[in-house]
Chain A
């Protein structure tokens, strides 16, 4: 059982580090320091705080991406300020949870909105959709690992990034 806990804890450490650090110079990490700040706020009174916050974030993503898709679907009559407003909100949310790649994409997306670049906006929307879903899957894996560690009788290790 101890060996299992140690293995899971090692896996958890490696996985957490991989979410923050870029593997190659052109690949950004998924998370930044703000995620670490959220983890620091989690305590015994609110053991699921981070999971609850990211869950809200992903709900936000779905809603805002839906809004953007509908706005961009108005062929020939796209309200770029409406799209830009949703992008601004998504940038704020992603910044609040430390979703580094999503936030970065929102910067480019906002520039496309401001210059009324339709093709650019469509491309950015596709990328944002892919990125938030990818982050959602990775964080789910991370939370599953945490659960496995606790169920095996171990403690979640502190990971210094």
Chain B
């Protein structure tokens, strides 16, 4: 990321590259649109296992991974742990339901998340994290 201007998404010179991991097609569409609206590009994975395969096969590199918690095949906690074992350095943001209790959120964070956000995701929730990436 070339710029250090806080909150000025339009100045992103390199396209923000995001992996969206969620089993809900509705969430995938909405989150893709949010990323596009803030100037990024995105790829999707329908579950944690797909996310792991994307990293294993393609050697892909993402600036940001949005990780849903509850998914079939491999859930968000297990996927995050696995990606960190694979030395994936991307910012991983967990996306949790408000129904999740403090213990569940803590376990998700301890798996290797950088941040945790509650659903539903909005531009306003994502933008401060993008700024962090830009300033890093």
Whether the Cβ atoms of A93 and B24 lie closer than 8 Å is: yes
Whether the Cβ atoms of B24 and A38 lie closer than 8 Å is: no
Of A17-25, A53-61, A65-73, A74-82, which stretch is located at the interface?
Answer: A53-61
> Are A95 and B37 CB-contacts (below 8 A) given A52-B29, A57-B26?
no
Q: Does B34 sit within 8 A of A, measured CB to CB?
A: yes
> Are A96 and B33 CB-contacts (below 8 A) given A56-B26, A88-B99?
no
Whether the Cβ atoms of B99 and A53 lie closer than 8 Å is: no
Whether the Cβ atoms of B123 and A38 lie closer than 8 Å is: no
Interface string of A31-44 (1 = CB under 8 A from B): 00010011011010
For B68, the closest partner residue in chain A by CB is A92
A52 to B34 Cα, complex, angstroms: 15
- Dominant SS among interface residues on chain A: helix
Whether the Cβ atoms of B123 and A40 lie closer than 8 Å is: yes
Minimum CB–CB distance for A45 against chain B, Å: 8
Whether the Cβ atoms of A91 and B26 lie closer than 8 Å is: no
Q: Does B25 sit within 8 A of A, measured CB to CB?
A: yes
Q: Which residues of A contact B25 (CB under 8 A)?
A: 56
Whether the Cβ atoms of B99 and A96 lie closer than 8 Å is: no
Instruction: Find residues 118-137 in chain A having any chain B CB closer than 8 Å to their own CB.
Output: none
Q: Does B122 sit within 8 A of A, measured CB to CB?
A: yes
Minimum CB–CB distance for B49 against chain A, Å: 19
Whether the Cβ atoms of A96 and B30 lie closer than 8 Å is: yes
Q: Which residues of A contact B26 (CB under 8 A)?
A: 53, 56-57, 60, 93, 96-97
Total contacting residues, chain A, CB less than 8 A:
23
Whether the Cβ atoms of B29 and A53 lie closer than 8 Å is: yes
- Which of A56, A89, A98 touches B29 (beta carbons < 8 Å)? A56
Whether the Cβ atoms of A95 and B120 lie closer than 8 Å is: yes
Whether the Cβ atoms of A96 and B27 lie closer than 8 Å is: yes
Q: Does A158 sit within 8 A of B, measured CB to CB?
A: no
> Are A92 and B123 CB-contacts (below 8 A) given A46-B33, A56-B26, A57-B26?
no
Minimum CB–CB distance for A76 against chain B, Å: 28
A-B contact pairs, 10 of them (CB 8 A): A37-B122, A41-B30, A41-B37, A49-B33, A56-B26, A57-B26, A88-B70, A91-B97, A93-B24, A110-B99
The 8 closest A-B pairs by CB, nearest first: A41-B33, A37-B122, A96-B120, A34-B120, A56-B26, A95-B120, A93-B26, A96-B26
Interface residues of A (CB under 8 A from B): 34, 37-38, 40-41, 43, 46, 49, 52-53, 56-57, 60, 88-89, 91-93, 95-98, 110
Interface residues of B (CB under 8 A from A): 24-27, 29-30, 33-34, 37, 70, 97, 99, 119-120, 122-123
